[in-house]
Amino acid sequence: MEPVTFRPPLYKQRYQFVKSLVETHKLKKVADVGCAECSLLQVLKFCGCVELLVGLDIDERALREKMHTLSPLPANYLQPDKRSLTVCLYQGSVTEKDPALLGFELITCIELVEHLEEAQLKTFPDTVLGFMAPGMVVISTPNVEFNPLLPGCTSFRHHDHKFEWSREQFQSWATDIAGRYNYTVEFSGVGGVPAGAKEVGFCTQIGVFTRNYRESEESIKRKMEAKRVYKTVFHVVYPSLQEEKYFQRAVINEALYYAHCMKIKLMRNLCSEDVEPESHLPETEQKPNATWSGFSKPYTPPQTEGDTTIEPFIQGDNIYIPLQRLFSIPSVMELCGSVDVLRKMVTGKAELSSDGSAVIFPVDLENDSEFS
């Protein structure tokens, strides 16, 4: 029989399994225990629902190796996300209780348990299911029954594995600890047997544990008092529109861009009325009269009493772009939610009319690059 190969590779299938779970349940707080070089965290960073991502590993060197890949990119600053995202990495053992891992919706232990010594494996359920007590836990581990199908696999799959379990061994261990800590466990896996081979189960066996109770505030508060033992290796808060400085910058960029476009359009329209000989040219090529010093026709602002129009207008030497008009642009509306928020963000960043209803630009043809 052909040696088994997995496409996508098995580790990617494990990450995809977790990603689907996170996206299906729209989980916000996720921790990966035994995260090594943070590969799963890098995948989960792109789940739009995740707001807190934590990695824990006993090996600080492994954490430091690729932790920079969890840092925000320039694009994250240029176009901050709506959601907030904090990423933290800790050095410490899964057998230690630290409040940093309390309050999670999901804790994943991917290919971790088989690396634990007997004494650590004994402590593991009390720390993860008893103390950390997240809403869900995913534990994956090799299925030893699959090993004969793997090329060159004569004993354990990795020299650091302390054991490898059959389906029966894993399921009996998982069912026992689930019962003890009031969780339900369902079994699944990734990497199926190839056609024609004996049914031995998945190459990677997975247990998905779901907590059966709601933890009381009292209990969480008590556990929060536990001593901090993990060492913080990395901590980053992504720029997000939840932060006022990024939100204001996004509103200013969006709203003033459109305000500027409206100003240009209005001036071009008006100038083209003055420059008859060129009016046959395409709009982009029409030049305004260089000696222009005002409007040939008196301009009547459309906002007369009872007039509800929100179109930009010119009054005196100023162009008025009503905030209502800017707010009617879908992207500005989506960002701000109300004209009052738009006004608040624009105040101090652009000149506003005395009643605060419009952004004002001076009409300055000579110094305006679009017209000079």
Chain-centroid distance of CA 331 in Å reads 20
**Closest CB to ligand SAM among residues 42, 84:** 42
Can you tell me whether residue 131 is helix, strand or coil? helix
In 45-175 the beta strands, taken as DSSP E runs, fall at 52-57, 86-91, 106-110, 136-142
- Footprint of ligand SAM on residues 108-137 (CB under 6 A)? 110-112, 115-116, 120
Closest CA to 129 of 35, 41, 209: 209
Smallest distance from ligand SAM to CB 141, Å: 10
Angle between helices 339-346 and 244-274 (to 10 degrees): 90
- What are the residues whose beta carbons fall under 8 Å from the beta carbon of 73, sequence distance 6 or more? none
Given 13, 93, 127, 205, the residue binding ligand SAM (CB under 6 A):
93
The least distance separating ligand SAM from the CB of residue 98, rounded to whole angstroms, comes to 11
Q: What would the DSSP string read from start to end of 213-244?
A: SPPPHHHHHHHHTSPP-SEEEEEEE--BTTSH
User: CB-wise, 33 or 241, nearer to ligand SAM?
Assistant: 33
Looking at beta carbons only, is 82 or 158 nearer to ligand SAM? 158
* Minimum separation from the CB atom of position 323 to ligand SAM (A): 51
Residue reference for tokens 């299911």:
129
Of 25-84, binders to ligand SAM (CB under 6 A) are 33-36, 39-40, 56-59, 62
22 binds ligand SAM (CB under 6 A): no
- Residue 351's contacts (CB-CB under 8 Å, 6 or more residues apart) are 359, 360, 361
Diameter of the chain by CA atoms? 92
Binding segment toward ligand SAM, per CB under 6 A, in 17-25, 93-101, 144-152, 212-220: 93-101
Binding mask 138-157 for ligand SAM (x = CB under 6 A): --------------------
Nearer to ligand SAM, 190 or 336 (CB): 190
Element (H, E) at 105: none
Length of the chain: 372
For the CB of residue 110, give the shortest distance to ligand SAM in the complex, in Å: 4
Pick the closer one to ligand SAM by CB: 116 or 149: 116
Tell whether residue 357 is a contact of ligand SAM (CB under 6 A).
no
Residue 94 interacting with ligand SAM (CB under 6 A): yes
**Least separation, in Å, of the C-beta of 188 and ligand SAM?**
16
The CB-of-34 to ligand SAM minimum distance in angstroms stands at 3
Strand partners, 232: 90
Q: Cα–Cα distance between 88 and 318 in angstroms, integer?
A: 51
Say which residues have a Cβ less than 8 Å from residue 96's Cβ, sequence separation at least 6: 127, 229, 230
- Report the residue number, 90 or 313, with the smaller CB distance to ligand SAM: 90
Positions in 177-206 near ligand SAM (CB under 6 A): none
Considering the complex, state which of residue 40 and residue 359 has its C-beta at the smaller distance from ligand SAM.
40
Tokens 């696999």 sit on residue: 153
Q: Minimum distance from CB of 157 to ligand SAM (Å)?
A: 10
Measured distance CA(353)–CA(347) in Å, rounded: 10
Distance CA 266, CA 325 (A): 14
DSSP state of 299: P
Closer residue to ligand SAM in complex, CB, 117/351: 117
Size of the site for ligand SAM (CB under 6 A): 21
Q: How many CB atoms lie within 10 A of CB 92?
A: 21
- The residue among 111 and 254 lying less far from ligand SAM, judged by its C-beta, is 111
Minimum gap (Å) between residue 202 Cβ and ligand SAM: 15
- Contacts with ligand SAM, residue ranges (CB under 6 A): 11, 33-36, 39-40, 56-59, 62, 93-95, 110-112, 115-116, 120
